[in-house]
A and B are shown apart, each in its own frame.
Chain A
Amino acid sequence: MRSSLPLVLAAALAGQGAQGPSWTAAAPGYPWSFPRDHSSHPGYRNEWWYFTGIVESEPPGRRFAYQLTFFRVGLVPGTPPFASAWAAGSLLMAHAATTDLESGEHRFSEALYRAAPLLAGFGAPGDPLLADCPGPPGTGGRWEARLEGGRFRLSMQDRRQGMALALDLVADGVPVLEGPGGLSRKSAREGFASLYYSLPRLATRGTLTVDGKEWPVRGVSWMDKEFGSSQLAPDQAGWDWFALRLSDGRDLMLYLLRRRDGTPDLQAGTLVDRSGRPTYLGEGDFRVRATGRWRSPATGAEYPAGWQVEVPAAGISLRVRPWVADQENRGGRGPHYWEGAVEVQGPLGPSGEGFVELTGYGEGNRPPI
């Protein structure tokens, strides 16, 4: 049963062809408006809400990292006109992970449901609900992301993994548009792009359950929201993505797309200054060099581990190091990828912390978007 699901999913996602005729393409000149754009955009094929953060328990000061992501995967535009509560045009996929930065224990949980009233769904603008779904079968509870009174309220639980989140993220500040007009190009070729914004510093507090033990925590989260209809070009295999908060108040987002043969394709980024003003970084504006490798014993995939990041014009030279080597997210129902908290050291400048995401490593593991 399980074995054939990724097949269905991959077929669902990849089989549609890059240019579904009635999906809206991510294009320049998108009229951003918040909080409306925090809600879903069903005209675009894919959309995700990405929350990552590093938190610390209120005494004795144990540090954890967490991730909660909701994906909207469009299968057909609109909802098919059937007299059935199961009629659905899209799927909801949700990923959650916790990492105990002391013990190095990384846990991952996932859920995948059709977006149908009985199961999962995305709120329309005005609805405090952004996305929700049942947790994995047999675990009880629902996974949710809500926007209420200027706060993102996140919750999930997975009894089987002994993990749960219940966090409030204060959504202050103006969203950073990640690319001119919020358009984030993913390929030199036309049409491969997404609309992308971030909230890099969300004051976070709530509880986090790791290994069945609940911790009151506080810390900072980064929210990423992206939607589009075709992101990855056919010849691209995956990407490395960095979201780093520097101690001098600047935030740095970088992504590097790789071709299927492993060579670098396109790279871009955004440097946000303390006042929230973005500077868009292009091909020649920064360098990222892997300084180590880590092979996953579970999947055999080999990931870079540790980087030297240079943004010469901004005086940034950073050593980025995974807090824990194994922060690979391995589920049964989708590609595996590495998503984890990193430590940032800048002997010649600011230091900091953040998250790195590494996709498309290992055999047949290309993200189907």
Chain B
Amino acid sequence: MTRYLWRAAAGHLRGGFALLALSALGVALGVGAVLSIRLLNQGALGAFAGTVRAVSGEASLEVVGTSPSFPEELFPAILAEPGVTAAVPLTRTEAAVEGARPPLFLEVLGVDLFAPARLPFEGKELPVAAALSEPGWVAVGPELARERGWRVGDRIAVSSGSRRVTLVVGGLVDFRRLSPLASRRLAVMDIAQAQSLFGLAGRLHEVDLVLEKGASPAEVASRLSRRLGPSVRVLSPEQRVSEASGLLAAFRLNLTALSLVSLLVGGFLVYGSTQAALVRRREEMGLLRSVGATRAQVLALLLLEAALLGAAGTAVGIPLGWLAARLELRNVSGTVENLYLLEGIEKVSLGAGEVAVAAGLGLLGAVLGALLPALEVARRDPRSLLASLTLEERTSRSAAPLLGLAVALVPAALGAYAVLSPRHPWAGFVLALAATLALPLAAPCLVRSLSRLPGPRRFSAGYGARTLPLHLTSSAVAVGALAVAVAMLTGVTVMVESFRDTVVDWLDATIRADVYVTTPTWSRARGEATLSPEVLRRMAATSGAVRVDVVRQTFARVRGRRVSVLGVPAGAPGAEGRVRVLGGGAGAVFGRLASRGEALVSEPLARKAGLWPGDSVRIEGPRGEAAVPVAGVYYDYGSEAGTVMLDLATFARIFGAGGPSNAALFLAPGVAVEPAVGRLRAELADEAVVVRSNRGLRAEVLAIFEQTFAVTRLLRVMGLVIAVSGVLLTLLVAARERRAETALYRALGATRLQAFLVFAGKGLGISLLGTLLGFAGGAALAGILVRVVNRDFFGWTLELHWPLSALALQALAIVAAGLLASLYPAVRASDAPATELSRDAL
């Protein structure tokens, strides 16, 4: 049988190259979508994990600061702890390289160069004297040095907070030798220099511990935790990575869900094309069976063919996925950095494991997709295979039960959601999946309903569309695939637009001051990047200034989550305008921040941690846990992990004194904003600060937003390409399958144009039905994504906005694309000469 496969293969290739190529493309796109997302997902975590591995690779435990630094006086106690064989103290500073476009942050590790740290310096001898005593001495990564053209001896101007620092490149340190995914931005300097230059005297961020053989990390960790108190946490590197992966979980799952939809559409295409190809080849199978091939042999033959097709598709899909991942790298990396404040992704690497997963998916998808139709054919006896049209009849008969199944999915999914949602935030995806699955199930009935339309008056496009039910299987598959893609497209478009509109409204309501001043490193370092008092003084003194509000920010843990904590001047006039509170009444609620020292929690935190007015939010600060009553919940779209807002006094009580992260300037009425921004920039020229107008800040927030959702663009395009290929595939199959029929029409006097139009009509019919069904599904999906998934999963309440003109344009584009995809098959079909009308049956 295998021999038969090879002999017949050449014939199949010649006979239906375009068809095979398209089926393979379906596999390729599905595999590509999944692979690219997997690579990006992995990269998103890999960058963080790689850096942890490179810096703390040998460490069994890490002592990290709660806030996020801790007093260095704890170090000798850490060093003396039984079980510890090496302790490496570290400071970490995100230093913004001045003038770098796009922004570049060095991750400067201040390390005790004489602690037993594994520092992969390049070159034979480290110039220790220079490292210890030459101010600003730093070793940078060779890749970054090459990129920026830095040589030993070069000076680099950087900033941390509003503090400016000049570093001197003294050597190269290549952490990628230790862990290939480590950040190329890692730089090393002696800890004394780092503390001194970045204003960290007396503070450490981390101590990496190597333990004795046989020492239990858990025991040492718990002893150390007890001994050292609340200003530090003692974690294993795995715990740190898993905390990061917890942070990213929602983001990653979201991407995965989107990529799985692509796979679903791809697998569906395989199913459809196999089904269609088998309709075409049933006589061949009948013949094989009648000359003695067993059912198992026929099944094996078909599945082997499918596997080969899958292999071909995978071979194309893997480079495709890799390419797509590379194209989307910057956007995903930006999201990881901006939204999750983790290492950005610098590269994706295609490991053997990923290739194996992709190949497995491609092959398995192709075989699974082919399984049902192949079983169907294998089950039949040779006589019924040789008889015409039996396969089609079956689908036609199963159309109604399939629709019933689609309808039954609704209560089933709702039931599952009701059961799952209290415990699993991803339960909303069940609804989304059901909505998506219902579409292909409803497709056969929808296509069949065409035959109930009144008979066409002319032998043209309308006739073609009306005869779609004649090849119900393939047309329903195409309609279903297109509908899934359109639904996905519509759902995601509506969600993104709704999100954007919500964010715009939120920005309008909450960005009130005229000028915002922060530091280049604020977005990455938060509480560690502070404005000097001098900056605040000059802001207050600038002409037209009415008031300067400052905000302090840091990270703290709340119920095991790393959340952002904000200290605001809650008592300042009009301060309540800063937030919109769930249930309204910002004024009263906000007043309690200042008067009673209570807290506001952001909606995501409230939903995920279950913190509502009346509860207490327990903030793990450097002085221990502080329980702050929750005054209210406010809308916030800036942090997925959540934010706690406190009055500055409460903030200082928990976290101690410190500088503000950013400051807002209110101008007197009538003072022009942009000139004031210009003046302030000039006045603060010697400080490392970023001065933005109200408008500038909004633009920036929206740019970050765009970047976050950019990755969905890729998926949308991929889904569309898959769906349009589906249309093309179906029609090509139909063109071939209906060759005799077309020849008959031609013989009976149909012109070539008529034959073409009949086929184009089929394409149009599929596109229209698919789009129609897709939009119905898309509306449902949009509702689910906006109302359920975003609320449950991210904790965001979004307003549903329908971007009607964009959707109309999309619909037009899809129908046009579908029509375009039908042109070639239609030409092929109209080429069928009447002489083809052999003695075959129709």
Contacts and interface: CB of A to CB of B under 8 A. Distances in A.
- Contact, chains A and B (beta carbon distance below 8 A): yes
Given A4-B118, A138-B80, A138-B212, A75 B128 contact: yes
Interface residues of A, number: 44
B514 interface: no
Interface string B118-137: 11110011111100110100
A19 interface: no
B196 A8 contact: no
Contact of B86 (A1, A116, A119): A1
Tell me if A's interface is mostly helix, strand, loop or mixed. Answer: loop
A112 B112 CA distance: 12
B202 interface: yes
Contacts of B114: 5, 8-9, 12, 91, 112-114
Given A4-B118, A82-B193, A84-B193, A138 B82 contact: yes
A330 interface: no
Contacts of B201: 83-85
B129 A76 contact: yes
Interface string A141-163: 10000000000000000011000
A96 to B, nearest CB: 17
Given A2-B116, A84-B193, A134 B84 contact: no
A188 interface: no
Interface string B73-90: 101100111111111110
A89 B134 CA distance: 12
Given A75-B132, A89-B133, A1 B58 contact: yes
A118 interface: yes
Interface in B190-206: 190-197, 201-202
Contacts of A12: 114, 126, 128
A118 B73 contact: yes
Interface in A8-22: 8-12, 14-16, 20
A82 B195 contact: yes
Interface string B129-158: 100110100000000000000000000000
Contact of B129 (A16, A84, A113, A118): A16
Contacts of B73: 118
A76 B132 contact: yes
A84 B133 contact: no
Given A88-B132, A114-B114, A140-B82, A1 B210 contact: yes
B76 A119 contact: yes
B195 A137 contact: no
B108 interface: no
B171 to A, nearest CB: 11
Contact of B128 (A8, A86, A135, A159): A8
A289 to B, nearest CB: 38
A286 B155 CA distance: 58
B86 to A, nearest CB: 5
A282 B89 CA distance: 49
B386 to A, nearest CB: 75
Contacts of B210: 1
A12 B75 CA distance: 24
A8 B129 contact: no
B72 interface: yes
Given A83-B196, A84-B195, A11 B128 contact: yes
Interface residues of B, number: 46
Contacts, number: 124
A137 B79 contact: yes
A290 interface: no
A212 interface: no
A14 B129 CA distance: 11
A172 to B, nearest CB: 35
B486 interface: no
Interface in B550-576: none
B487 interface: no
A80 interface: yes
A295 B198 CA distance: 52
B479 interface: no
A177 B758 CA distance: 114
Given A8-B114, A137-B86, A140-B82, A15 B127 contact: yes
A134 B128 contact: no
Given A1-B86, A2-B116, A15-B126, A84 B196 contact: yes
> Would you call the interface of chain B mostly helix, strand, loop, or mixed?
mixed
B377 interface: no
Contact of A134 (B72, B80, B89): B80
A87 interface: yes
Nearest to B126: A11
A333 interface: yes
A8 B173 CA distance: 13
Interface in B85-126: 85-89, 112-114, 116-121, 124-126
A137 B58 contact: no
Nearest to A112: B114
Contacts of A80: 132-133, 192-193
A139 interface: yes
Contact of B212 (A119, A140, A160): A160
B135 to A, nearest CB: 8
Please indicate which of the listed interface residues A4, A10, A14, A82 has the most CB atoms of chain B within 10 Å of its own CB: A82
A141 B77 CA distance: 10
B192 A84 contact: yes
A86 B84 contact: no
A337 to B, nearest CB: 20
Contacts of B195: 82-86
A10 B121 CA distance: 14
Interface string B650-673: 000000000000000000000000
B609 to A, nearest CB: 38
Interface in A268-289: none
A82 B196 contact: yes
A102 B759 CA distance: 104
Interface string A296-311: 0000000000000000
Determine which residue in B72, B76, B124, B128 has the highest number of CB atoms from chain A within 10 A of its CB, and name it: B128
Contacts of B86: 1-2, 137
Contacts of A20: 129
Nearest to A93: B114
A134 B82 CA distance: 13
Given A12-B128, A83-B201, A138 B192 contact: no
B118 A1 contact: yes
B61 to A, nearest CB: 12
B191 A86 contact: yes
Contacts of A135: 80
A85 B72 contact: yes
B81 A138 contact: yes
A20 B133 CA distance: 14
B119 A4 contact: yes
Contacts of A114: 112-114
A138 B114 CA distance: 17
A135 B84 CA distance: 12
Contacts of B79: 134, 137-138
A87 B112 CA distance: 10
A14 B125 CA distance: 9
Contacts of A137: 79-80, 84-87
Given A4-B118, A86-B191, 5 more contacts: A76-B132, A82-B192, A86-B190, A119-B76, A137-B87
The 9 A-B pairs with the shortest beta carbon distances in the complex, nearest first, are: A82-B196, A138-B84, A84-B195, A86-B192, A1-B118, A12-B128, A11-B125, A80-B133, A87-B192
Interface of A: 1-5, 7-12, 14-16, 20, 75-76, 80, 82-89, 91, 112-114, 116, 118-119, 134-141, 159-160, 333
22 contacts: A2-B86, A4-B118, A4-B121, A8-B114, A8-B126, A11-B127, A11-B128, A12-B128, A14-B125, A15-B128, A80-B132, A80-B193, A82-B135, A82-B192, A82-B196, A83-B196, A84-B192, A86-B72, A112-B114, A138-B79, A138-B83, A140-B80
Interface of B: 58, 72-73, 75-76, 79-89, 112-114, 116-121, 124-129, 132-133, 135, 190-197, 201-202, 210, 212
